[in-house]
Chains A and B, each alone.
Chain A
Amino acid sequence: MLFDHLSVRDGSVAKRMRRLAAGLRIYVTEAALLLPALLACIPVFILVTGSVMGRGELAAYLLPVLNDSGGYIDWKLMPDYPTFENYQRLLLETPQFFVLFWNSIRMTAVILLGQLVIGVPAAWAFAAYEFPLRKGVLTVYIVLMLLPFQVTMLSGYLVLDGMGLMNTQQAVILPAVFSTFPVFICYGGFSGIPKEMLDSARMDGAGEALIFIRFGLPLGKGGILSALVLGFLEYWNLMEQPLAFLEDKALWPLSLYLPEIGWQQAGYAFAASLITLIPAVFVFLSGQDYLEKGIVYTGLKG
């Protein structure tokens, strides 16, 4: 009885302590999570600093690799004499770079456009209609989506060779247009649309094409954009297919060309890498919500 007031005070102190501890725990957790995440971004910092480093400075830091001597390479977070000479050389004096940049843009754009025209309606067929073997066909689509390129490499080569498309950009573009991956993602976006809504539109006399355009496309926008974002990151980074199917280096995308730049031209390589990185970062930042949604859609069951 006598100490009642004390225990009440103790309680409030304990409560405050607990709240403080909980707040502190969140900070500690966040710090612990942030550190490896920041480490994950180090390659970008190296690219940025390298791209504004002069030729002489780079040569000094990378000397051990350049002449394969003993010792280790060195680096600085901030170059002593920041310069844009690498970019200047790349953008003004290397027309070849533009050819490859344009190759990458063209292939990515045509593939994504083709996927929109071919894949989105296919996803709509799976989401909005019941038809015989629907489940079976969808399973086939999922399996095809999951098969690694190497397994279908020979079959892809045989058909492309038969069509006379080897060593043309069509050899990379056409198979990608018919990829089942975007179909599956868009299907995820469409599957949330209630069928009753479509049925009532039909009662009002809307045709099937109109229903797709009026309801499917706007309501499934999330899935379609997700497929585009994931697709962009994939095709901007394309390596296996062009490596196998494109012999002529003038047809290559940037992603194959960058690694060919030697240590002697490190500054140039840094600048070219950074410029390749920019569109991907732009798409990533502006489409992150759709990216995450798309990742979650890949997880939907058939």
Chain B
Amino acid sequence: MSAFEPVLTANIHKDNSHTLKVYEAGGGYRALRKAVKTMAPKEVVDMVRASNLRGRGGAGFPTGLKWTFLPEGHPGPIYLCVNADESEPGTFVNRIQMEFDPHQVLEGTILSAFATRAAAAYIYIRYEYPQCHKRMQQAIDEAYEAGYLGKSVLGSDFRLDVTIHRGAAAYVCGEETGLIESIEGKRAWPRIKPPFPAVEGLFRKPTVVNNVETLANVVHIVDRGVDWFKSIGVPADPNNPRDPGSYGPKLFGVSGHVNRPGCYELPLGVSARELIDEHAGGVWKDRKAKAVIPGGLSTGVMTEPELDTAMDFSALQSVGCLGLGTGCMMVVDETYPMIELLHNSCRFFSHESCGQCTPCREGTHWAVEIIERIKAGRGRLKDLDLLMEISQSMGIIPGTTICGLADGAAWPIKTTIVKFRDELEELIKQTNPVGYAVTDPVDALEDEAHRNWPVLGTTRPYAASTAN
């Protein structure tokens, strides 16, 4: 493999990298021009298919394959939704892309809309990225003016309108059908599948939902070709015809207890250890890593010996993680108590659970209840078994929930308890010497008591409902 040359972050250090002028000067919109003027939409789809580009938002589903699920000859309109809701804890790379290279994201959007014959694209940007809103809107305005958007893109009969849709602080809007429901103006309750969005999505029309980073890759696939893309990353396993491989560049985020938190563009397949030690400056304060979450909180934890695992779509499962996820890593050092990681994670998922299906709504709440009781010095050894069971009962993998938020909630619990059981048992025994062996149910924490946690309760108080 030749020395890797970043493409996704090639522009971000330039002055005014977010402007059309700078983008075009660097070769921007060349790919779009090539596609609109010399290719048919299906050819673009074929290229993306052949490249085995996999979704960068967390699920890793082959993008080109997803595009082929759109029904042939449908009267339309077909919609493209850009998932810029990036709310997976630890993940910040889309933010960097939209802030510093919005045109690349936009070009990827327009290209993909061209390929899928979408009539309109909605870019769902989370509320917490105000600078991204500004920059993306600016880019869109510039694009309309320059003829890259509107009734006639680059003078062709391909027309596209792009609208930014602002989120309102809900993680579940990152789930593709939750995002669709949110755009439609309803509560972001993910939909039961089937039907899948490609058949019946936004406004019940065929819809494709793609992540920001995924779409940016489309630009480079069209610009530099499939062979170039496949020269980067990890090839498909020759013994497994179903393995699409892990091709292409990836934006890896590293944060937490490291010396140089940041975004690092590298080929898929780099090891976790290399990412931390060679790119992120190593664990801070001369300490060692205790637990590393490879790709956003949902993926669960790895231990220090497991850090040699490759960061790609298939290797991480072998160490018990959910998968590559967003490829954004969080590192905690040897002094960090795992109960805090567990609490932080369970609190997050309970707060963000949309609440429609029973195992997730109740399971995430119950997990927080148990953990807070453990932290209050009234934990039991049995609680760890209970937490394991709760985590194993929810998710789309067993089939018990509507969406994958529950799997994301389950994985940190599962992996932490399996890999750090001794530490957790020790904590329980030490903080509850009298009652740790009890197996009967115990009294719940009084609401007041557990609201006395330093500052934070489990959830934000909601708007008052009508009086009794």
Q: A and B, one complex?
A: no
Residues of A within 8 A of B (CB): none
